[in-house]
Amino acid sequence: MKAYKEMSRDELLTLKAALEEAYKQEEAKGLSLNMARGKPGMSQLTLSMPMLDVINSQSDMNTLLGNDTRNYGDLDGIGECRKLMADMMSVEKDNVVVCGNSSLNIMYDTVSRSVTHGVNGSTPWCKLDKVKFLCPVPGYDRHFKITEYFGIEMVNIPLYDDGPDMDLVEKYVNTDPAVKGIWCVPKYSNPTGISYSDEVVRRFANLKPAAEDFRIYWDNAYCIHHLYDDKQDEILNILQECEKAGNPNMVYIFASTSKISFPGSGISAIATSLENIEYIKSQMTIQTIGHDKINQLRHTRFFKNIDGLKAHMKKHADLLRPKFEAVLNTLDRELSGLEIGSWIEPRGGYFISFDALPGCAKSIVAKCKALGVVLTGAGATFPYGKDPQDSNIRIAPSFPTPEEMQQAAEIFVLCVKLASVEKLLGEM
């Protein structure tokens, strides 16, 4: 198939006419498909419904240690739930605090406490002239919204196939005391699907921050979210690597069961050094009496252990894989060789990242929306919603059915082609 850039003006005009006709035909179908967020589909939610039968009015409500989950206590989470989350995050139970239903909430609270009260006794960020966060891009829009909300300056860091540009990360972290943190999704990254290499993880652990209160915000949201049994990414344990490097306090790890059990009704956790844990708990004891221990008990009795979690995630993978493959196969079939876009085939996670020709992302998203296919807004994967190249688009295949996903993928490639032709004609 001939690359669009190699076509003459007449060839592009002929192609444009054909694409516009196909676009009109799709417009007449009146579709309504939403791929704006990485929401689990209905069939995935059904997998966890038996969890609701694990506890009823006749149930023993005590933990393994005999604590009554209906009452106060266990500020840092019931022991068996801390063990479950620790195994999921590949850390020790003592390094874990189990919180509410959302890891995003923990991240927000962690930043908020740093702003108002500092980190482990350091100067509160609100009393500093300038605070900066490094943001690997493209990245997770909700991360960026947190730091934007608190008025923290965000610095773009290019994200490569093996992780962030570590030369740039080291330059900022090791020389600028205003740099207080970096957002990371180290495994099956949102949205690109890449996983950090061993070298990248080690370089993170061996940073020499100019700021004593610098922290790595390690959002391991997709730590057990594989799509394949035989192709799975694994990453080094950042907490262990930080301890080896003499930086035990430098990382906060976040995770949740939001895309394992029920989004909005799962459990979340933070894992970090024992010193950090004690400081976090000293603030939590003022903020809350404790999180939902009955929900923690429900989760641990349903999943039982890490093997139960992994078995459950294989069922998720079986449901997600056809949706991802519908998109990836369509992209490969329809766009390979045209030189109007590139994408990565993830082995896990919830997203496919597509890079269009510069200046085309907003146009593609708008064209898709007009045909009833709603995508994440163009620019959302960058701080302040500003993609310098207007190129990156996040595709979230999880919520529609496989059949709907096939339809959506075909509409997407049609819009990519049309927007690309318009772009190239406009440059002639």
CA 35 to chain centroid = 15
Report residue 284 as tokens: 């939590």
Task: Indicate the pTM of the whole model.
Answer: 0.96
What does the pLDDT read at residue 405?
94
What does the pLDDT read at residue 31?
82
Q: Helical H runs in 30-119?
A: 42-47, 79-89, 103-117
User: How far apart are the C-alpha atoms of 208 and 191, rounded to whole Å?
Assistant: 28
Which CATH number, 3.50.50.60, 3.40.1480.10, 3.90.1150.10, 3.10.20.30, labels domain 4-44+310-427?
A: 3.90.1150.10
CATH architecture of 63-304: 3-Layer(aba) Sandwich (3.40)
What does the pLDDT read at residue 200?
98
Helix (H) or strand (E) holding 354: strand 352-356
Positions of the chain with pLDDT under 70 = none
What does the pLDDT read at residue 33?
86
Report residue 12 as tokens: 């592009």
Report residue 3 as tokens: 């690359």
What does the pLDDT read at residue 310?
98
Amino acid code (one letter) for 281: K
Distance in Å from the first CA to the final CA of the chain: 21
What does the pLDDT read at residue 414?
98
Q: What is the DSSP letter of 123?
A: P
What does the pLDDT read at residue 350?
97
What does the pLDDT read at residue 250?
98
Residues 6+ apart with CB under 8 A from 118: 124, 125, 213
User: How is the chain split into domains, by residue range?
Assistant: 4-44+310-427, 63-304
What does the pLDDT read at residue 298?
98
pLDDT digits (tens, 9 = 90+) for 377-420: 999 999 999 999 999 999 999 999 999 999 999 999 999 999 99
